[in-house]
Amino acid sequence: QVQLVESGGGLVQAGGSLRLSCAASGRTGVIYTMGWFRQAPGKERELVANIAWGGVTTYADSVKGRFTISRDNVLNTVNLQMNSLKPEDTAVYYCAQGPRWRATTDVNEYNYWGQGTQVTISS
């Protein structure tokens, strides 16, 4: 089993920054793809960014140049640095673990999820 616990959400003004962290435990490690997803009210859950084996990263077009995903292999955490935040970034953000060895953007291939953390950006 895998346990994922997110932290770092909150309320900030547009243009501000937040850093989300996901602590992973159990059957996890650097060979697994880790992703950050978000879901706004009335919308589908969408991939924000993921990081795969070898540090390969993928970003949604809407966050490129503003968000950075990283992982700390010693602490077993996956972080999402979010800069230049916009009101449309408001959502519940989820950390998830995907398959081993390969990257994927398919939400259905992520089998383990955290409880989510609320991010609210005021205009």
The secondary structure of the chain in percent helix, strand, coil, rounded to multiples of 5, reads 5, 55, 40
Average pLDDT over residues 74-94: 97
pLDDT on residue 29: 86
**For residue 115, is pLDDT > 90?**
yes
pLDDT on residue 49: 98
Average pLDDT over residues 96-118: 96
Mean pLDDT of all residues belonging to the chain: 96
Q: Torsion angle, CA of 48/2/119/83, rounded to 10 degrees?
A: -50
Average pLDDT over residues 107-123: 97
For residues 119 and 58, give the distance between their C-alpha atoms in angstroms, rounded to a whole number: 21
pLDDT, tens digit (0-9, with 9 covering 90-100), for 8-48: 999 999 999 999 999 999 999 889 999 999 999 999 999 99
**For residue 97, is pLDDT > 90?**
yes
Higher pLDDT, 35 or 54: 35
**For residue 105, is pLDDT > 90?**
yes
Q: Which of 22, 25, 26 is nearest to 34 (CA)?
A: 22
